[in-house]
Amino acid sequence: MDLCPAFIDPVNRYESKLDRDLYRTSTKQFEDGQYETSFRTFMNYVNREMAEGCEIEPKRWQLPHGSLVVDMSIKDDLFEIKVPFIKLPADRLAPILRRSLDINTNVLTLSQIKLSDDGLYFHYSCPMALAEPFKIYGIIREICINGDSYDDEFIEEFGAEALREKQVTYLPEDVLEKAWNQFHQILDEAMGYDEYFVAKRWNGLCVDILGYALMKIDYSLAPQGYLRSKLEKSISWLWSRSPTEEVLANLRQDFKEFKSIEKEKFFKDFYRTTFFIHAKMSSEIEGCQKALAGRYDWAGQDKARSNHLGLTVNYIYGAYDLFYKFFVPTKLEEELQRTMEACSNKTWKEASELCWTSFQKIMDPAFAS
């Protein structure tokens, strides 16, 4: 445990269809009161191919996203989005409705899951004058990502019925085998460090090492389906206000459950399918610098105390936190990858020097130019 963890080249990547240049145009059009024009530009920003090909009638779109069909419309100056979710099994209504209430209360912000006959659907509406691009991106993303993730959970755990079969192409067997091996390599490595750190009562480092391992799985393997849903749920503990001991107990339990996943079930969560929007948002370098600021400050404090391990972990955690949340600009992604690869299996002191040099380079305002 005296060496820095190894960097793993991703075996699978999430795909983005975002057209970064159109976002500012859409925002400017909205500020000028051109609400429908702004919305159409926004749709092209998210996914031009679907925006142009899935307008089934004027001002109404039906967009495939995994197992969902996203129905969006503009009528009488009102924007509305409705997304059928699952069909309810007659014998498991109570637990499904309790879980839906929990999601409405603790997961969703503006959209809501609603009951209609024997099914559930996501819904949101607002006047076009309030359909600001950043806000609408968040709402569509919230519905699509949660709907496509939670339907797997509802089907797996409660016997709900899917309303639409995902049209998927599974990854080649050699990629699946590599993903399986890397999945267990990441888990085993993190659990080993956790055991070492907890013996020294370094609980904060335990949270960081387990946390960034989960985000490392997301970045390196890009799973879908039930595994991604479970990863999301586990990663959410990192932002919990619960006591550290409780967070660690939940993370460790989740790691045991990840380790127990059967190989055949694991393979089913690696596929290509049609998505309208992705879980990650795009970010310019300036936004990434802001997101890294807290970890950079902590790394500076570790530098002053010659805490080589703490500095390195802050850098690696910050990198995977960015990769988890954003499609990072290529220049920044390559810098982070190069540094973590150079740190692989180095002593903490050697790794900390590389990380600090890179941190200073990234956080320099000139890096964004």
Q: What is the CATH number of the domain that holds 114?
A: 3.30.1460.10
Residue 259's pLDDT is 97
> Residue holding tokens 């009528």?
75
Looking at the structure, tell me whether residues 43 and 123 fall in a common domain: yes
Examine residue 10 and state whether it is found in any structural domain, yes or no: no
Is 8 a domain residue? Answer: no
Is residue 164 over pLDDT 80?
no
d(CA 63, CA 200): 52
Structural domain ending residue among the three candidates 253, 279, 305? 279
Looking at residues 303-332, what average pLDDT do you find? 96
User: Quick one: tokens of 311?
Assistant: 């500095």
pLDDT band at residue 181 using 50, 70 and 90 as cut-offs = very high
Q: Which residue has the higher pLDDT, 92 or 353?
A: 353
Average pLDDT over residues 302-322: 98
Average pLDDT over residues 117-122: 91
C-beta of residue 285 within 8 angstroms of C-beta of residue 72: no
**What pLDDT does 157 receive?**
85
Give the number of C-alpha atoms closer than 13 A to the C-alpha of residue 319, restricted to the C-beta side.
27
Q: Is 225 within a domain?
A: yes
Decide which of 152 and 30 is more confident: 30
Do residues 158 and 37 both lie within one domain? yes
Number of domains in the chain: 3
pLDDT of residue 197: 96
Q: Which domain holds residue 63?
A: 21-162
In a domain, 353, yes or no: yes
Last residue of a domain, one of 162, 184, 213: 162
Query: Average pLDDT of the chain?
Result: 93
The reported pTM is: 0.84
* Residue 203 predicted with pLDDT over 80: yes
Residue 328 within any structural domain of the chain: yes
Confidence of residue 229 (pLDDT cuts 50, 70, 90): confident
- The C-alpha atoms of residue 73 and residue 1 are separated, in whole angstroms, by 56
Task: Determine the average pLDDT of the residues in 29-42.
Answer: 97
pLDDT in tens, 56-96: 999 999 999 988 899 999 999 999 999 999 998 878 889 99
275 lies in the same domain as 287 = no
Together in a domain, 90 and 109: yes
Q: Can you spell out the DSSP letters for 36-86?
A: HHHHHHHHHHHHHHHHHH-EEETTEEEEEETTEEEEEEEETTEEEEEEEEE
* Banded pLDDT at 153 (limits 50, 70, 90): confident
Of 17 and 246, the one with more pLDDT = 246
Q: Is the pLDDT of residue 165 over 80?
A: no
- Choose among 180, 234, 242, 181: nearest CA to 211: 234
Say if residue 86 is in the same domain as residue 202: no
Which of 247, 279, 311 lies at the terminal end of a domain, its last residue?
279
